[in-house]
Amino acid sequence: MRLGRGFTMLELVVALVISAILAAMALPFFSDREANGAWFREQVKAALRYAQRQAVANRRLVYVFIDPAQVRLCLDNPCTAPNEFTAYHLVAPSGVPISTTTAFSFDGLGRPSIGSTLTFTVAGNPVTVQAETGYVP
């Protein structure tokens, strides 16, 4: 009697086909979440830079409101009055968290009102606003 060792060619082909199908279904899910996180992080950084530039250009305060689901730029502190920044409202994509809830403003010289460097994460990657200059690397 012959002992069976290993797998037959048919078993190997079936196992490879099944694993390829599972990989093809799972790969876009992981890539989409990472791509959305990277895209949204860059959008948040661009919004912060835009707020600083507008504060300097208009020589007035521009308020930034950050919470776990969105980023808003406003010209008034409670962010209720309609203005040109009301439309500048970034909503985080599903599964892309922001790690902080904070509010600060940029003054007419582009300096943030926060007393120290602000660092928070978007999708697990850090975003930093320098204390004295408002620089967002």
Neighbours of 50 (CB within 10 A): 16
Q: What is the pLDDT of residues 51-82, one digit of tens each?
A: 999 999 999 999 999 989 899 898 877 776 66
The pTM (predicted TM-score) of the whole model is 0.74
CA–CA distance, 109 with 24 (Å, rounded to integer) = 51
CA–CA distance, 131 with 33 (Å, rounded to integer) = 31
Low-confidence ranges of the chain (pLDDT < 50): none
Fold of 9-129: minor pseudopilin epsh fold (3.55.40)
